Amino acid sequence: MNPIRRLALAAMVALCSASGLAAQNTPDRIRLGITYSSGSRPGIVVVGGAGMDSVRTIVERDLEHSDRFEVASVAPEVARGATPAQLLQAFKAAGITWAVELQPTTGGVTVRLHELAASSVRQQGARGVDPAGVGDARLGIHRISDEIVRWASGGAGIAATRILFSMGDDIHRIDADGANMVRVTRGSGFARSGTWSPDGSRIAFSEQRDYAGLIIVQNLATGARQTVPTAGTGTNTTPAFSPDGRFLAFAKVAEDGTNIHVADIAQMCCANRLTSGGKLAVNIGPTYSPDGRRIAFVSARAGVPQIHVMDADGSGQRFLVPLEYGLSGASFSPDWSPDGGKIIFARDLQGGSQLHVFTLGSGRTAAVTSTGRNEDPSWAPDSRHVVFVSSRSGRRQMWIYDLESGRSRQVVTSGAVRLPAWSPSLGTQP
């Protein structure tokens, strides 16, 4: 028997009011318009009270994008024409695991997560959000979605996050669901390589201006900008915050080679060089381990750029990702996962760039893409989703891939993009 079971129960067409219909309904007569495909993931359905349509739509999409649930739907006219008890009974009969109930309250919404098999409320709470869900108000709704994910699965959600990316001369940001795109930089230079501070309140990026490459730290709430001291002349690029937000690692392209430096941005002073190798040295793309003790980076010291690692003070520099002889090409753009267990990077392989994941515990490397040219990967805070740039659709666009389910989706933008960077969870940030 096919394990995928599709239930499409026809919606009742009624001319009477919803309350009148509910009064007439009995368990035998009510026919709920539920669409649900059961599978390996638990089913979940979202229903909302009056004025909750925008909230429900955003939450449904967020739960779908979490890749943790099979999201069921119910026809609006059916939901309006049944009592909550009748709906919950029908969802349970359909084999759905969870039901999310959204009810309007003064200044927000009450959220209830029903565990249908136990006929009980697993969790509930009132949250202050704007039900219109427009602009930055969407972030409050995304936080509700992440709370539901945590209640139902115990795992981290990714809805209340944003992605930085370069498009044109500026850096933009977009919500992780692909909505609410905003231009972030409005400087006089060419902005690239955006990255988030650990608390999501600031970004750092490189800005090419008057033949000099600067590193800028910008406060997202106020727009205030600071230029990071970079010690000497040269072009500075690929900044990365330390996990405590006190330091910023970056690469400086100068006459004495391309090397990794670290600046103390808590004091805005004291840039120190961590790597060396002479005028032909190429060391670039630093990324901190989550505990702040190590930095992975790209180095061409062996001839072909490969992933190396060093202690945060520059000591203990060594090769990290094993070569696959006959297959390995140049490796670049490493990003250390928030859980500390993996590093994702792009590798040129047989004429194309594909994403690979190196698992530190096992020392194994596995390819995770194969179609088109794929590069510039960045981890989500759940350490299972990644955003990257791919040419698979015909132009450079952002895609999100879930390493556990193998599902992917495109984040559509108006122009070609580069260098996406996924934010931490934005629990309280604007």
Tell the residue number behind the tokens 């739907």, with chain if given: 73
What single-letter DSSP state applies at residue 118?
G
Q: How does pLDDT run across 307-340, given as a tens digit for each residue?
A: 999 999 999 999 999 877 666 689 999 999 999 9
**pLDDT bucket at 296, cuts 50 / 70 / 90:** very high
CB atoms within 10 A of CB 302: 10
Determine the topology of domain 162-422 in CATH: Neuraminidase (2.120.10)
Average pLDDT over residues 106-115: 94
Give the pairing type, strands 318-319 and 306-311. Answer: antiparallel
pTM of the predicted structure, to 2 decimals: 0.90
Determine the topology of domain 6-153 in CATH: Rossmann fold (3.40.50)
- Please give the C-alpha separations between residue 301 and each of 33, 48, 93, 276, 277, in angstroms, as whole numbers: 63, 59, 63, 10, 8
What's the mean per-residue pLDDT of the chain? 88
Contact 334, 287 (CB under 8 A): yes
Of 32-46, 221-235, 238-252, which range is least confident? Answer: 32-46
**Residue 72, SS3 per DSSP:** strand
The token pair at 225 is 């900008």
- Strand stretches in 75-169, DSSP E: 98-105, 108-115, 120-127, 162-167
**Domain-by-domain residue ranges, the chain?**
6-153, 162-422
Report which secondary-structure segment, H or E, holds 264: strand 257-264
Q: How does pLDDT run across 47-73, given as a tens digit for each residue?
A: 988 889 999 999 999 999 999 999 998
- Please give the C-alpha separations between residue 178 and each of 19, 37, 135, 376, 411, in angstroms, as whole numbers: 37, 25, 12, 18, 5
